[in-house]
């Protein structure tokens, strides 16, 4: 599987000149931006990472966030990088998961990306609860906030409480 990922990442690296990859923290508006702009793909990781047993939950992205009745897909993250590879020439922007492991792989293979990150965790927790995510997911955002906090080698797009991802991407000329 490692060799397959390497092939995908080499392809992505060689075809990045017309596409920007944005790793974005939860509840900043990835889905909104992906739905609004034809040249932007929101590559929701949960489609690739998990196998769900309840079809009603599996087909609703927001309801399945935080659901624990799931199994890790043995194809992940290979299938996720394959999806990025398959879309790199189709979109100007691909929005991806903020998972530390995925970002570390991108760094290892010298694939440039932006990291959209909130200035504090409080407002993303509130947004999660407001949009209907369960409490388990919302509280998990605090833990993720601390462990996924940007490192010095990441190109960070800070998202303030009164902003959404779209606002920051527009201000930087990305969309």
How do residues 29-68 score in pLDDT, each as one tens digit?
A: 999 999 999 999 999 998 899 887 766 555 666 666 656 7
Compute the average pLDDT of residues 97-122.
Answer: 94
CATH of the domain at 34: 3.40.50
How do residues 161-175 score in pLDDT, each as one tens digit?
A: 999 999 999 999 999
Q: 173 lies in a domain?
A: no
Backbone torsions φ then ψ of 159, nearest 5 degrees: -110, 115
Res 49: pLDDT: 93
Domain count, the chain: 1
Q: Does this model's pTM top 0.75? A: yes
Q: 172 lies in a domain?
A: no
Is the omega angle on the peptide bond into residue 77 within 30 degrees of 0, that is, cis? yes
* C-alpha dihedral (44, 47, 51, 54), degrees to nearest 10: 90
Q: 50 lies in a domain?
A: yes
Range of the domain at 46: 2-162
């Amino acid at each position: 599987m490692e060799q397959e990922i390497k092939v995908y990442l080499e392809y992505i690296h060689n075809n990045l000149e017309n596409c920007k990859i944005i790793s974005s923290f939860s509840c900043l508006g990835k889905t909104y931006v992906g739905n609004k702009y034809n040249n932007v793909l929101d590559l929701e990781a949960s489609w690739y990472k998990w196998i769900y047993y309840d079809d009603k939950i599996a087909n609703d992205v927001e309801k399945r966030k935080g659901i624990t009745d799931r199994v890790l897909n043995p194809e992940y993250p290979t299938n996720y990088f394959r999806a990025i590879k398959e879309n790199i020439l189709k979109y100007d922007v691909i929005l991806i998961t903020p998972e530390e492991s995925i970002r570390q792989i991108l760094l290892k293979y010298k694939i440039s990306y932006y990291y959209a990150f909130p200035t504090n965790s409080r407002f993303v927790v509130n947004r999660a609860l407001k949009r209907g995510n369960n409490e388990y997911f919302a509280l998990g955002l605090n833990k993720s906030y601390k462990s996924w906090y940007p490192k010095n080698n990441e190109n960070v797009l800070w998202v303030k409480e009164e902003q959404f991802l779209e606002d920051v991407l527009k201000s930087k000329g990305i969309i």
